[in-house]
Structure 1
């Protein structure tokens, strides 16, 4: 994926792994962060709305700056 605008409306962990060079366990850790804004669909499935994902990346970027 070349651009954040081309992302699906809801991202799965697999989608996030294609964007961020992180292990699956770290992606799940990020998705479990309350600030991330993920949606619990079933006990085992979480989805990350695209807009919340982008906002979360901005939040993390601002914290590291």
Structure 2
């Protein structure tokens, strides 16, 4: 099946697969992007929510306590 193929040159040593880092890069990069998007959405929710502490509205020079 491999006779005459560049994958079977006889005595020449070569790797049949790409390095592990190249093969796993899409899966790792995709998981990291998903995690960063999730953190971004959580931070947006937390930063825009009132936590029971007084809220300082600097543009209107007032403090609001809920």
TM-score, normalisation: structure 1: 0.27
TM-score (normalised: structure 2): 0.27
More helix by share: 1
With a CA cutoff of 8 Å and minimum separation of 6, indicate the structure with the bigger relative contact order: 1
Q: Where is the strand percentage greater, Structure 1 or Structure 2?
A: 1
The structure number with the bigger radius of gyration is 2
